Amino acid sequence: MNIQPTSLDAYKLMHDGVLALAHAERQGIRCDVKYIENRKILLTKKINRLEGQLRDSKFYRHWKHSSKSKINIYSDTQLRTFLYRSKHTGVECINTNS
């Protein structure tokens, strides 16, 4: 089968696609709210457990001891500063031009 699209065909295809997306948007997405709520509870428990493990670790105690301010475990800036200044973790420069 040899199909030769025309500008009118392309327009119709785009138009039909836009109408289909608009219809889908009006209908919305069904969500299993009970499942989502249960997953939220499970994930919250897991996050709390992992935070507890972090706070009990030697790494955290060293971070807390070396910090001049209150530690925010969600702060990438604080973690980065601790790793580079206290733990002396460096970044190797990789030359990608070779």
List, as one string, the DSSP characters of 44-73.
Answer: HHHHHHHHHHHHTSHHHHHHHHH-SS---T
What pLDDT is stored for residue 92 in this prediction? 47
Tell me what pLDDT residue 90 has.
Answer: 65
Is the pTM of the predicted complex or chain greater than 0.85?
Answer: no
Question: If pLDDT is split at 50, 70 and 90, which confidence band does 87 have?
Answer: confident
Extents of the domains making up the chain: 30-91
Closest of 33, 16, 15, 87 to residue 79, by C-alpha? 87
The residue among 83, 90, 88 whose CA lies nearest residue 60 is 83
pLDDT one-digit tens code per residue, 27-83: 987 889 999 999 999 999 999 999 999 999 999 999 999 888 899 999 988 988 888
Helices 33-55 and 58-66, packing angle to 10 deg: 70
